[in-house]
């Protein structure tokens, strides 16, 4: 019985070590993306595209960028980021930090264009919000008109619907 438990434990440990775990990051063409794990003094960021290619390397707190200024490293937070994203930036990335013990992190970066529904939803939200404000303004106008007194007499002659939306 002990041997069966030992074998099961060894298999579970083996499966845990062999399974590749990675974080999925989503970006938009032209925008930036930050990798969530920090490199404080020493480490690198590698793109696993057509073969491993180091795109950023930090040694003794100094960044060497191999992407013509698109890879950044924030010395305060230790986070790598890529700016001016392109579709070809999509793929697997590996971040290695050597601060004390060496540790590796895997990321799958997906870069796409701005989704038209996102823009449509924002415009709809603004328009709906504006319509609600206009309606509330109208209700306020009617309330003042109906229950007007001397303190609100300057508002009584205002026409409703003075709320405008600019997009």
* pLDDT tens digits along 1-32: 555 544 444 444 444 444 468 899 999 999 99
Tens digit of each residue's pLDDT (9 = 90 or more) over 61-120: 899 988 889 999 999 999 999 999 999 999 999 999 887 788 999 999 999 986 545 545
Token pair of 131 as six digits:
């319509």
Please state, in angstroms and rounded to a whole number, the distance separating the CA atoms of residues 4 and 156. 87
Residue ranges per structural domain of the chain: 19-112, 116-156
Give strand pairing partners of 47: 53, 93
Please state, in angstroms and rounded to a whole number, the distance separating the CA atoms of residues 6 and 98. 34
Q: How far is CA 144 from the centre of its chain?
A: 46
Instruction: Give the pLDDT score at 18.
Output: 40
Quick one: pLDDT band at residue 132, thresholds 50, 70, 90? low
Q: If one looks up domain 19-112 in CATH, what number appears?
A: 2.60.40.10
Instruction: Give the pLDDT score at 160.
Output: 46
Residue scoring higher pLDDT (162 or 103): 103
Backbone angles phi, psi at 72, to 5 degrees: -125, 155
Instruction: Give the pLDDT score at 83.
Output: 95
Please state, in angstroms and rounded to a whole number, the distance separating the CA atoms of residues 86 and 32. 10
Planar angle of CA 102, 89, 26, nearest 5 degrees = 80
Instruction: Give the pLDDT score at 143.
Output: 57
Instruction: Give the pLDDT score at 84.
Output: 94
């Amino acid at each position: 019985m002990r041997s069966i438990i030992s074998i099961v434990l060894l298999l579970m440990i083996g499966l845990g070590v062999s399974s590749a775990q990675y974080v999925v990051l989503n970006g938009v063409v032209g925008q930036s993306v930050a990798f969530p794990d920090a490199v404080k003094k020493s480490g690198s960021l590698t793109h696993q595209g057509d073969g491993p290619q180091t795109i950023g390397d930090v040694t003794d707190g100094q960044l060497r960028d191999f992407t013509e200024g698109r890879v950044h490293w924030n010395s305060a937070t230790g986070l790598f980021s890529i700016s001016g994203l392109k579709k070809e930036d999509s793929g697997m990335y590996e971040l290695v930090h050597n601060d004390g013990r060496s540790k590796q992190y895997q990321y799958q970066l997906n870069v796409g264009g701005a989704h038209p529904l996102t823009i449509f939803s924002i415009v709809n939200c603004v328009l709906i919000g504006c319509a609600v404000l206009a309606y509330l303004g109208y209700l306020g106008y009617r309330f003042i008109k109906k229950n007007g007194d001397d303190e609100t007499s300057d508002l009584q002659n205002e026409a409703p619907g003075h709320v405008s939306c600019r997009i």
